[in-house]
Structure 1
């Protein structure tokens, strides 16, 4: 037998997967289900612009500083949500001020990422509270969303959605052809940093649910999957939102009945959707 099979035999499948009292557990994760559904819709929408503007690396960089802010707040006994926002805003402002060109942006992110991750690890090493709090900031938790955190998440998600829908057309124009957009009077230099700021807010509210290390599965993979099957400017955002919604809510529902964290379920569902879309895109290239 392999070590994994031996370990499972020792622990017992029932200790890992147990849906006996599943109905009683669902009310406990009610806030997380609402948060996951909202994050799926907002994350899927913003992922389209992340892919269009070639910002996956930026998402990871912002998440590292958001993680540092959240872990610092945890160490100080302050609000983890506020700490996440502070870290994300610092990263977003740094990207907006220091450079939005691809070469400058990647260099800045390459500097910010290890600094943010190292700072976050330092704060967690100094924190002597529950280990689950440390682990949750990296990989997410399904019971970490209290009523206050949920309210902040809903308000922020609503604001992000309104802003995105307001600037969607000029932002898309500036992303696809910035020179022509600038000539037509679109404020290209303003839209770039402003979108990164909006992206930072989305990352901040996602940390508690999905975790800092796996944020890309929410803000990149949905749009990448949608673009495998269609290039329609209407269908891509709708599909991306649907894919992210299924991944988040499905991951939380699966994790509720097991002792495994939420992140493996969300990432696996998201990756499976991407693979299926890629196969469909290969078999039916005329749809793209």
Structure 2
């Protein structure tokens, strides 16, 4: 009996640019939504990193997934369902998790609960399997024209909210004790930030899926912080990295047969890797220069 020969993976199985222009028009809504998500997600990701809340992002996304799955099962608006789930999780985390230890424990409880509910709702759903899959890993054509309006409006609200509270939020993120001593309403700022985070997570679930939202809400900011420390340069770089990851991932996914999420996450990780390498090289040069400097003798 001859051994079974597995078919080799051909390049055309991953990329095919045939009829690329026509396909580009079909996903124009997704491109616009991804651009908005990349920019706003990159900006809010800076505060996520400064406040050490990357774990909270994943917790909010699980409840957003549960809300979207419930809406899918009961025939409601998936955008509204994911929005309600994300906002509910964000408010619970913001109200109960003032300290990092409390916040992580709350997130640790919410994550399996939200994921379990989402899986339950999807198992009861009898519709297209692509709808189920898109909630977890994203789908390139999942953004309809009505959904696009909601996603852009939500992104604009988050962007405006960040601009309004930027200075007190930054103060509270970098030095919460000093901010509270100076009269900054740190608890209200924390709850408001979690609300904004919940809104943008609901947008991210429709672009990249609930399992991989950190690729656009954490990784771009982490990459920007590796190569810059400036108060203006970091958010601008983070927004740029988020935009390139989101839009670039969709542009590649148009020509591919894979879901959009692997392309977005790969670009985001590649940017982080390059920034990490640049940071490492810079630190190595600084250490080398410090080692070459002659020791100064103390005056006699």
User: Shorter chain as normaliser: what TM range?
Assistant: over 0.9
Q: Pairwise mapping of residues 137-286 of structure 1 onto structure 2 (< 5 A)?
A: 137-285=135-283
Gaps of 5+ in 2: 287-300
Distance in 1 (alpha carbons) for counterparts of 2:255 and 2:104:
40
Q: Distance in 2 between matches of 1:190 and 1:15?
A: 51
Unaligned runs of 5+ in 1: none
Q: Note the 1:107-118 alignment, pairs <5 A.
A: 107-118=105-116
Cross-structure match for 1:37: 35
Residue deviations 1:11-35 (CA, integer Å, cap 9, x gap)? x543442211111110000000101
Q: Which residue of 2 aligns with 1:105?
A: 103
**Are the counterparts in 1 of residues 42 and 235 from structure 2 also a CA contact under 8 Å?**
yes
Assess if the C-alpha contact under 8 Å between 1:100 and 1:193 holds in 2.
Answer: no
What do residues 117-139 of structure 1 show as CA deviations (whole Å, max 9, x unaligned)? 01100101011111100000000
Task: Provide the C-alpha distance between the structure 1 equivalents of 2:258 and 2:174, rounded to a whole number of angstroms.
Answer: 41
Aligned to 2:74: 76
Q: Tell me by how many angstroms 1:147 deviates.
A: 0.9
* Cα distance in 2 for residues equivalent to 1:188 and 1:16: 48
Distance of aligned partners of 1:7 and 1:105 in 2 relative to their CA distance in 1, 3 Å threshold = farther
Q: Matched residue of 2:165: which SS?
A: helix
**Structure 1 Cα separation of the partners of residues 30 and 206 of structure 2:** 10
Contact 1:31–1:150 (CA under 8 A) maintained in structure 2 = yes
1:142 Cα deviation (Å)?
1.0
Which stretch of the first structure deviates more once superposed, 52-61 or 277-286? Answer: 277-286
Task: Give the drift of 1:263.
Answer: 0.4
Q: TM-score, normalised by structure 1?
A: 0.95
1:6 Cα deviation from its structure 2 partner: 3.3
Distance change (3 Å), C-alpha of 1:128 and 1:7: farther
Q: Is the 8 A contact 2:227 2:278 kept in 1?
A: yes
For 2:250 and 2:108, locate their aligned partners in 1 and report how far apart those are by CA, in whole Å. Answer: 32
4+ runs deviating over 6 angstroms:
none
Q: TM-score, normalised by structure 2?
A: 0.91
Aligned alpha-carbon RMSD (Å): 1.4
Contact 2:97–2:104 at 8 Å: present in 1 too? no
**Are the counterparts in 2 of residues 69 and 120 from structure 1 also a CA contact under 8 Å?**
yes
Q: Which structure's CA Rg is the greater one?
A: 2
Where does residue 61 of structure 2 map in the other structure?
A: 63
Instruction: State the match for 1:125 in structure 2.
Output: 123
- Measured in 2, the distance between the counterparts of 1:137 and 1:214 equals 10
Q: Give secondary structure in 1 for the equivalent of 2:141.
A: coil
Q: Distance in 2 between matches of 1:7 and 1:192?
A: 53
Partner of 1:94: 92
